[in-house]
Amino acid sequence: MTAEPQALDVSPAPSVGASEKTLRVLEAAIANHRFTDIVDDTGLAKATVHRILATLVESEFITGDSERGYHPGARFLAIAGRAISRLDISSIAEPIVDALVRDVDCTIHVGALNGFEMVYVIRRDSSKPYRMASRVGLSIPLHCTGMGKAVMADWSPEQVDRMVAEVGLPARTEQTITDPARLHEELAAIRARGYSMDLGENENGTVCVSAPIRDHFGRTTYGLSISSIALEHPGESISGFAPQAIAAADAISRALGAPEPRR
């Protein structure tokens, strides 16, 4: 018995263009308060934006109107809350870190801010025969490490002074910054260039270049470092990897939902 041929599905496929417009309006409505700014951000016609906004309000993705402005709605906030609760810096950063190791062939660390310390959450080794003394879960000071200084560079002077008052600036090596005024100068230089370095300040013979990682609020709560030994990268030569460190840290920041940096 021959099976009857199936009827061809000729129903129209969902409009990709319409979906993209809706997402564009939703993003603009979350980022802007005024209707005119939303229109400018999307580049769409006013009538189109108004119609999509009405649909988003009705479905509770946003709330408000063109006079009072728009804000995230209950449905959007519920989805955002569930997404944020599932964020895992390790799983998000791992593929980026693995690619970076292959690119620079140095040890890569990712650390998370914990009070006035950084805690290693990722370590990936290079193909070199030497190994760093670091390990996942190890806490390290802020003032004498690349990642720590990259995080502190985002702090106000008052926050830095509070840290100094509470934990001090203990010397780990002869290169450790132990003077508060010099630390403030170092942090200002880091903000200006976008990366930090540890040139034997935490451990004799080791060097690193680090970049800040920002969370979904735009706060610098993580850091990434490219580490090596001074014999292989003498002086400040490790800074040659700064562009790679910044690019990888920015990629992780974007994956965490951070807003675009202003440089």
Q: Domain boundaries in the chain?
A: 16-84, 87-255
- The region of weakest confidence among 51-65, 112-126, 228-242 is 51-65
Structure tokens at 160: 């830095």
Residues 6+ apart with CB under 8 A from 95: none
- 51 HSE (CA, 13 A, CB side): 7
**Region of 53 on the Ramachandran plot (φ > 0 left; ψ -120 to 50 alpha; else beta):** alpha
The predicted structure's pLDDT at residue 142: 95
Q: For residues 257 and 80, which has the higher predicted lDDT (pLDDT)?
A: 257
Rounded CA gap, 243 and 221, in Å?
Answer: 20
Which one has a higher pLDDT value, 66 or 37?
Answer: 37
Name the CATH code of domain 87-255 (choices 3.10.310.30, 3.50.50.100, 3.30.450.40, 3.30.390.30): 3.30.450.40
* pLDDT value at residue 147: 95
Mean pLDDT (the chain, rounded): 86
Phi, psi for residue 127 in degrees, rounded to 5: -85, 0
**Higher confidence at residue 62 or residue 3?**
62
* Short-list 154, 148, 152, 90, CA closest to 124: 90
Distances (CA, A) of 105 to 50, 130, 165: 52, 12, 38
Report the residue count for the chain.
Answer: 263
| pLDDT higher than 50, residue 2 | no
- Cβ 228 vs Cβ 243: under 8 Å: no
The structure tokens 């995230």 sit at 72
At residue 81, the pLDDT reads 64
pLDDT digits (tens, 9 = 90+) for 5-27: 444 444 444 444 788 888 888 88
The pLDDT value recorded for residue 82 is: 63
pLDDT class of 53 with cuts at 50, 70, 90 = confident
Which range has the worst mean pLDDT, 132-136, 222-226, 233-237? 132-136
Condensed to tens digits (0 to 9), the pLDDT of residues 59-93 reads 888 888 877 778 888 887 777 666 655 557 888 89
pLDDT at 68: 77
Q: Strand order in 117-124's β-sheet?
A: 139-141, 117-124, 107-114, 220-229, 206-214, 196-199
Position 95 scores a pLDDT of: 93
The pTM assigned to this predicted structure is: 0.70
- Give me 177's structure tokens: 């910054």
The answer to whether 9 and 37 are in contact (CB under 8 A) is no
92: exposed, middle or buried (C-beta count within 10 Å: 0-12, 13-18, 19+)? middle
Question: With 50 as the cut, is the pLDDT of residue 211 above it?
Answer: yes
CATH code for the part of the protein at 16-84: 1.10.10.10
The pLDDT tens digits for 149-200 are 999 999 999 999 999 999 999 999 999 999 999 999 999 999 999 999 999 9
Percent of the chain at pLDDT > 70 equals: 90
Are the beta carbons of 253 and 217 closer than 8 angstroms?
Answer: no
What ranges make up the beta strands (E) of the chain? 62-65, 69-72, 107-114, 117-124, 139-141, 196-199, 206-214, 220-229
